[in-house]
Structure 1
Amino acid sequence: MRVLIVKTSSLGDLIHTFPAINDAVAALPGTEFHWLVEEAFVQVPGWHPAVSKTLPIGLRRWRRNWRAAWKKGQIRQFRDTLRQDEYDLVIDAQGLLKSALPARLARGPVAGYDRHSLREPLASFFYQQRHAVSRQLHAVERIRRLFALALEYPLPATPAESGLQTARGERERSLVFLHSTTWPSKHWPLPWWRELTGLATQAGYRVLFPWYEPEERLRAEEIISRAGAGELMPRMDLNGLKDQLERTSGVVGVDTGLAHLAAALNTPAVTLYGPTEESLTGAMGKHQQNLVVDFPCAPCLRRECSYPEESPVQPACFQTLPPVLVWTALQKQMTPA
């Protein structure tokens, strides 16, 4: 059986799909998986050993100038590449119009969520199979259920496993602090990062700060300058970041895709949740602890903090997750059972 997975972005959403692939491989040995993914994340699907082919799509790039993409033949070339293989089933695990449309272009019947299970109900119009899956479930469990329904195997009762192959060995005495994310409201306050860097350095750890975009580098450099400690990592692609997350002793991160990658690799980690719903998208894996703010307006699900009162830090809700609490939680995860 050959199955095409359509899950185009973002990094955390892709990581959430791995356990469903693991389930399917166990239930249906020999199933071949291809994966349609946004070109910025083309390295990710191949991390799972059951994915034999990755098909990049340039939606983000095309949106900047659809006309130019059409005139240059980029969309036609993508369609021709997509239709080279025939599929027994196409599973749209994203459930958005941007994923449903290319899923329908593929050569095979399309399965996805029913209209009541989608944020964009119109996407279900493009599916031949429609499955009801509660939107109140964690994202990982939603995708596991969708795969089980679409491929007709019993949903496993076992905990989710990413199935990622990792290089085992002694971890280096370093920590990675994942300080960057897309929403301003999800950023842990800079004074808290400075204090946490000091605690980790005093305990004998190298503290590493990754970055990719220029503003991420500036934030990392400001934390390092304020703390008088820490190291700026070189700019890395996703494969390089994955390798570093495998080697490090522990991770502290905000709600960002790399935190979900650390969890999938079972690297000891603490992930910090303020404005977002941890029960729906929290990091899952061994040696993980998700710390959730205790604040009247959380989770607000807003990109910007709108708390009107004075607060010692911004975003205001993170005053309930101070550095000592985070450091204690990380030490617990790094301590062998």
Structure 2
Amino acid sequence: MRILLVKMSSMGDVFHTFPALTDAQQAIPGLVVDWIVEESFAEIPAWHPVVDRVLPINLRQWRKQPFAKHTRQAAKVFFEQVNQQDYDLVIDAQGLLKSAWVTQKIATPKDQKVGLDWASAREKLASVFYGQKISVATDQHAITRLRELFAKALNYPMPSTPICYGLNHQAWLPLAQVNHQRYIVCLHGTTWATKYWPEDYWQALISKLNQQGYQVILPWGNAEEQARSQRLAAGLTEQQAWCPTEPLKLNDMARLLKHATAVVSVDTGLSHVAAALDVPLVVLYRVTDPKRVGALGQKVTHLCSPLAPNYIKKFQPGQEQASLEGLGVEDVICAITDFVEVKRH
């Protein structure tokens, strides 16, 4: 059986899909999956053994100039390529109008196109485009919702087993640039200013980790994050804190995370990568709630402030300090003690 999966973005959403793929692979012998994903995440789907073809789409760029000649031509070429393959089923695992538009462009008959029903889809009109509409409870974590969607779409019992990402990462070698045997990765970059952890907190954490003999790695993905990494590493030797000179590709970032002793992260897409690689991970949820879309894994610890459920993009008076309650340096040290031998001082 060959199916086409439409799950294009974001990074967290892509990683949330892997446990459902693992379930399906175990339930259906010989299953093969092709995956339409945003170009910027094209490296990721191939990490799962059930995925055969990765079909990168540049939908974000197309939507900026939807009627331009070059956009129409690029879309034509893309869908011609996709439609060279016949599929037994097309699953839209995103439930948005943009993913439904992509789904309806696939030549597979409508009755073989599956997606969330009106009550379950994030954008309800998307359900109009599916021949098979699946009901999935909305008050669940995204990973559970996707596992349920796949089980119902592919007609196997919803597994009761713990989540398993099932990625091909066991043979990944350490990143060549890192020659320290014990290192901890600090992921400080995120999208909202209210999600940041203060730099003086990071500096205090780095100092404590250095005292225990750990090198701290400070990766970055844009100029703002690079400047922050450089500030955090200022005055320290490379053996204490290493800031890469170039942004790491996703495959290299995954290798860096896989071989880390632990990872400390704000709420950002890369936290889901660490969770999927079964790395000891502490995620700081200052103004966002992990119950629905947080990083999940066997070695993941969530530290949440009292304001985490509020999804605050701009602080009101008194909220900024309250949003750091429970997210102190000592709280982070305590959270990773179970996984690494870091002693509090």
Same fold (TM over 0.5): yes
CA deviations over 1:236-271 (Å, ceiling 9, x no partner): 110000011111111000111111110111011111
Aligned ranges 1:145-184 → 2 under 5 Å:
145-167=148-170, 172-184=181-193
Q: Percent identity?
A: 40
Aligned mates of 1:294, 1:47 — CA distance in 2: 36
The CA deviation at 1:311 is 4.9
Aligned mates of 1:226, 1:218 — CA distance in 2: 14
Pair 1:282-2:282 in alignment: no
The CA deviation at 1:67 is 3.2
Question: What SS does the corresponding residue of 1:176 show, helix, strand or coil?
Answer: strand
Pair 1:320-2:330 in alignment: no
- The residue type paired with residue 263 of structure 1 is A
- The residue type paired with residue 114 of structure 1 is D
| Maintained 8 Å contact 1:194/1:227 | no
The CA deviation at 1:79 is 1.5
Question: What SS does the corresponding residue of 1:91 show, helix, strand or coil?
Answer: strand
- The residue type paired with residue 25 of structure 1 is Q
Aligned mates of 2:235, 2:114 — CA distance in 1: 51
The CA deviation at 1:131 is 0.9
Which residue is 1:211 aligned to?
220
Which residue is 2:125 aligned to?
122
Q: Which runs of 5 or more structure 1 residues have no equivalent in the other structure?
A: none
| Maintained 8 Å contact 1:8/1:36 | yes
The CA deviation at 1:71 is 5.8
Question: What SS does the corresponding residue of 1:115 show, helix, strand or coil?
Answer: coil
Pair 1:307-2:316 in alignment: yes
| Maintained 8 Å contact 2:65/2:71 | no
- The residue type paired with residue 276 of structure 2 is A
Aligned ranges 1:56-95 → 2 under 5 Å:
56-68=56-68, 70=70, 73-95=73-95
CA deviations over 1:20-76 (Å, ceiling 9, x no partner): 000001100101100000000000000001100011110112223223354671111
CA deviations over 1:75-121 (Å, ceiling 9, x no partner): 11111112111111111111111111111111322111111112210
| Maintained 8 Å contact 2:172/2:255 | no
Query: Which of these residues, 229, 252, 271, is aligned with residue 220 of structure 1?
Result: 229
Which residue is 1:202 aligned to?
211
- The residue type paired with residue 277 of structure 2 is L
How many pairs align? 330
Q: TM-score, normalised by structure 2?
A: 0.90
The CA deviation at 1:188 is 1.4
The 1:169–1:19 alpha-carbon spacing in structure 2 relative to 1, beyond 3 Å, is: closer
Q: Which runs of 5 or more structure 2 residues have no equivalent in the other structure?
A: 175-180
Aligned mates of 1:34, 1:135 — CA distance in 2: 26
Aligned mates of 2:195, 2:282 — CA distance in 1: 14
The CA deviation at 1:310 is 7.3
Aligned mates of 1:227, 1:306 — CA distance in 2: 33
Question: What SS does the corresponding residue of 1:25 show, helix, strand or coil?
Answer: helix
